[in-house]
Amino acid sequence: MKVRILAPNQGLLDNEPYPAPGAVVDIPEGLAVSLLNDQRAELVAEKAAETRETRELAAPEKRAPGRPRKAS
């Protein structure tokens, strides 16, 4: 599960040095849930389309008037 670290800490996280705040890490689900519950991390969407904000901002591709598209 991908999470973004919010709070600084010393020590190890999943047998690696604890990442700096703002870092996005992929960690086991149980550990991620623990960090999320303690508000030490926030969930990061796997794909940009999974978040409502990016879906609203994503505009369909628009072409300028001109030549028609090639047939596939």
**Residue ranges of domains in the chain:** 2-49
**pLDDT, tens digit (0-9, with 9 covering 90-100), for 37-49:** 999 999 887 665 5
Does pTM top 0.75 for this prediction?
Answer: no
C-alpha pair distances (Å), 18 with each of 11, 39, 63, 69: 6, 15, 46, 51
Residue type at position 13: L
Q: Is the dihedral of CA 21, 1, 35, 54 positive or negative?
A: positive
The pLDDT of 43-62, averaged and rounded, is 60
